[in-house]
Amino acid sequence: MTEPKRTALVTGASAGLGAEFARQLAAGGHDIVGVARRRDRLEQLAEELRDGHDARVEVLTADLADVHAPRTIAGKVAELGLDVDYLVNNAGSAGRELIEDRDWGAHASFLQLMMTSMAHLCHLFAPGMADRGYGRIINVSSVAGRIARARDTNYGPTKAYVVALSEALHLTLKDQGVHVCALCPGFTHTEFHDVADMLDMKAASPGFMWYDADVVVREGLAAVEKGKCVYVSGRIYRCIDPMLQSVFLRRLIRRFTAR
């Protein structure tokens, strides 16, 4: 019996990890719904995927910092006659400094993008997956969400929420055929650090700490298939992570970064 063609919705699909998720999922036989703010970049990706794979590719422009965006996306997907079997919540950006930056509107938009929109998309699409008895959800978190650090008062905490949300969804949905995984990459070669004005930090970091996007995505796809609810990508980071979670080391890091 032939497996049904499944549809993957990928947010932040115009570049970086999102574009790589779309490529690897299309190569694996999925139809793709790519969501991002930049339609020109989405169209370029769609053309690439249609030429290289036997995939239906739809593009939706949306800004997930807008509170109405998730429901608009769900409505457009329904209009296309598609069921989302695979959800990759990847859209995100670097955070402003919560205390020093006094523009609360900017902070609220950031929190909407990084946490609320992700929860909303899970709220909209996970029930259908459970009803059909199959689903995969990858919520892109970060190693930054695994340890608190001084002056990281927005980005890391939002990523910690993504881990907690994914763990709870995993426990809730696993018996209904839906796998949920928080993917926690470390430093990854994408446009993220260019956009976030982090090129100096990238140049000063050891090369062995950086992984290519295709490695992170490949590991994330394998992890969610295996039913792992939290997966730290990159061998270096998987070695470091257990130490970061130890109570003793967390206390040392808090003392050190506070200085």
Distances (CA, A) of 241 to 68, 183, 187, 232, 256: 36, 13, 14, 8, 18
Distance of CA 97 to the CA centre of its chain: 21
Active-site residue identified among 86, 155, 161, 211: 155
How many residues are there in the chain? 259
Beta-bridge mates of residue 34: 10, 59
Q: Are 110 and 95 in contact (CB under 8 A)?
A: yes
**What's the token pair of residue 2?**
């032939």
What is the C-alpha to C-alpha distance for residues 171 and 229, in angstroms, rounded to an integer? 9
Q: How many CB atoms lie within 10 A of CB 74?
A: 18
Secondary structure tally for the chain: helices H, strands E: 11, 9
Q: Which helix (H) or strand (E) holds 230?
A: strand 230-232
Task: Tell me how far apart the alpha carbons of residues 90 and 109 are, in angstroms, rounded to a whole number.
Answer: 16
161 an active-site residue? Answer: no
Which residues participate in catalysis according to the annotation? 155
